[in-house]
Amino acid sequence: MKKIIIAFIVAAIFIASASNLFAQSDAASVGSTVTKMQAWNGAAWENFFNTFNNTDAGANAPHVKAMYALDAYLHAASLDKSLKNKAVTIVVNGLTQLKNIQEKNILVRSYLLERLGYLGSDKAVNTLSSYIELPGYTDVATMSLTTIGSKKSLAALETALVNASAATKPAIEAAIKHSKSVLPFIQAVALTPAKAVLPAQRLLDLQDQMEIAKSPTAQKEIIIEAGKVNKLGALMFAAKFLETTALQSDAAIVVSKLALANPDFKGPMVRPVLQRALALLRGEDSAILASKLAYHIKAMPYDYGFENIFNGKDLTGWKGLVANPIARSKMSAQQLMEAGAKADATIKSDWVVKDGLLVFTGHGDNLCTQKQYGDFELFVDWKITEKGDAGIYLRGTPQVQIWDTSRREVGAQVGSGGLYNNQKNQRNPLAVADNKIGSWNTFHIIMRGAVVTVYLNGVLVTDKVVLENYWDRTLPIFVKEQIELQAHGTYVAYRNIYIRELPSNLPNALSDFEKQQGFKLLFDGTNLDQWVGNKAGYLLQDGAIVVNPKSTGGGNLYTKDEYSDFEYRFEFQLTPGANNGLGIRTPLEGDAAYVGMELQILDNDAEIYKNLKPYQYHGSIYGVMPARRGYLRPIGEWNEEVVVVKGTRVKVILNGETITDADTKEASTSGTMDHNEHPGLKRTSGHIGFLGHGDVVRFRNIRVLPL
């Protein structure tokens, strides 16, 4: 029975590999490649394995293509008894060839060791056994022996156990148990079945399990299970193992798939995690997944993303408490600085970082974020001891309650997560969702305006309730203030504190000065009513117009009205290598660069643009007049641009610097710089438009003043 199960697993794995390969090529070409490989001699295979020395990330890296080819070859060999042992010899020789190559190829060697297990031949047993005591290979070698599942391979595990070092013994024991159809992590702790708990609670359980898991096999199973929890915390949990050799491959796959499935998992803490995961993707999962992830990273928004406001090491980003928001507003800058310095000095003994946790020792005052927040989404795990009492201040105001529900004398039986200090509005939670004392709990808090929503362990406990201003109940809650972790005399620990600011739901508006001048708002952040053209190629996202390259590369989006002389103001945000353009005085049909004029919008510092013509840099009138360089802000920051068109004169001001100031008639008298006809230079009016070239670019604060 066991061999049938193992054979089924092996077949499934090879079928998956073949499916990925066929996704890239047709069946005939794959079959032709395999036939050629079957005829290779030793020298040809040696050249083939040399390809694995190049382990650059990405779907088109040489070693990735080689993995696809090898998987197709091994798939065919696994179905033919006469070829299976030959395939084992080829893989063993490949391992020998790579054995002395630099350490970065540990992933490639692990990949080959896995394939020896999938082939299921006793001829691989001795080789696999020789890797058990080599650092970094114990887990993959023992599990490959388990996958073979023969008497010889299982006997090899038993022999290895007798001679095992303290470092490898747990993994060998786990592999032996696995071979007997007992998963070691289930044997260690019987978790509640995933279907019986909410995802937030499931993730807490898995984190508890990881703390006691001993072998890489058990840890790998936990990471894979976390990948089924569709939560930001699951992505960040898996990310912690991207630097653990035995786990990083599985962690990279989990991180990648969770990110691709959830566009809201973005921000300064997520981007580097995805970049690291991209570098670790390999084998049959790499080509398709890496390609999607690379594009996902490139197009990922830079605004309104998650930040990790507790680094697990120290109190960076936090400060001591100085009075309350109203009292602070009445203090002078000097008074505030002196009081802040005094508060910061005391918190170092009141709040400590231990084992990656932020811990309140039981004496002292609140710990506050240095940054102030308006609308936000917050995730935070917390744990208290018996009789514990704590809370989380939102915008400097008490509080989302945390307490021991056994404290009936103070009303704690209602549970945590309520807005404790409310008097007019709902203060008690809708349900008791606390875990037992000494266990971890998790909050998901969303605040928009004065309205607060709280989930405790995945259960909705506060549903869109207005938070009252405790400090002056005649006033509404503060628009923007710090977040505080309450100090209330009892131990409390925090971890995994992730926050993101939320965009305002209010439409953009002209300033009073712009209104007096006669500016017209072309985009208020909510609709494209003032625009025509390929509206399907542009999305509305977080108050910005975003090129949607999945829809005909973005295409062109034009103002509904035509303009002659004008001043046009807008902000734009580039992504790496992004290319767009601003069409001026252009008709709705034809190439705007020629039938009108196109001002370049371009990340001209990207490597792919190293050979640009002078008239192709950002702010240039394409083909006609070059712009001054060096005034674009770093990728991810918003740029401010003003375009002034009067008669034949065009001026471009980027971030306060004039980069183009040209008379198009004079510039084209002796012909244009690109030697092409530009009839649009003679136009006296036309539409203004964004000219999508297939890359993600964002635009906002768009207004125009007819002159």
Fold of 512-706: Jelly Rolls (2.60.120)
How confident is the model over 197-206, as a mean pLDDT?
92
Q: pLDDT-derived band of residue 25, with 50, 70 and 90 as boundaries?
A: very low
Distance CA 605, CA 602 (A): 9
pLDDT at 64: 66
Collect all residues with Cβ–Cβ distance below 8 Å to 94 and sequence separation of at least 6: 45, 48, 49, 52, 112
pTM here is: 0.71
For residue 640, how many other CB atoms are within 10 A of its CB?
A: 14
Name which of 407, 408, 369, 371 is nearest 389 in CA terms. Answer: 407
Q: Does domain 318-501 have CATH number 3.90.550.10?
A: no
DSSP 668: T
Cβ–Cβ under 8 Å, residues 232 and 306: yes
Q: How confident is the model at residue 66 (pLDDT cuts 50, 70, 90)?
A: confident
Percent of the chain whose predicted confidence (pLDDT) is above 90: 56
Query: What type of residue is 656?
Result: G
pLDDT for res 288: 82
Q: Which of 536, 550, 627 is nearest to 581 (CA)?
A: 627
Residue 148 · residue 121 · CB < 8 Å:
yes
Higher pLDDT, 62 or 46: 46
pLDDT class for 507, splitting at 50, 70, 90? confident
Give the pLDDT mean for 82-98: 85
The residue-averaged pLDDT of 209-220 equals 89
Q: What is the mean pLDDT of residues 365-390?
A: 95
DSSP 180-232: TT--HHHHH--PPPGGGS-HHHHHHHHHHHHHH--SHHHHHHHHHHHTTS-SH
Q: Over pLDDT 70: what percentage of the chain?
A: 90
State yes or no: pLDDT of 19 exceeds 70: no
- Model confidence over 313-322: pLDDT tens digits? 999 999 999 9
Domains 2-181 and 318-501 alike in fold? no
Paired tokens of 463: 């549903």
CA end-to-end span of the chain, whole Å? 84
Most confidently modeled of 96-105, 140-149, 518-527?
A: 518-527
Instruction: For 564-598, write each residue's pLDDT tens digit.
Output: 999 999 999 999 999 999 999 999 999 998 999 99
Boundaries of every domain in the chain: 2-181, 188-300, 318-501, 512-706
Task: Domain 2-181: give its CATH code.
Answer: 1.25.10
Cβ atoms 594, 569 nearer than 8 A: no
- Give me the mean pLDDT over the 279-294 stretch: 80
Tell me the mean pLDDT in the region 241-247: 93
Question: What's the whole-number mean pLDDT along residues 258-283?
Answer: 92
- In terms of pLDDT, which residue wins out, 687 or 32? 687
3-state SS, 515-550, equals: HHHCCEEEECCCCCCCEEECHHHEEEECCEEEECCC
Measure the CA angle with vertex 702, ends 696 and 707; round to 5°: 135
pLDDT confidence of residue 3: 37
On the question of pLDDT at 16 being above 80, the answer is: no
Alpha carbon distance 542, 232 (integer Å): 19
For 511-549, how does the pLDDT look when each residue is reduced to its tens digit (9 = 90+)? 899 999 999 999 999 899 999 998 888 989 999 999 887
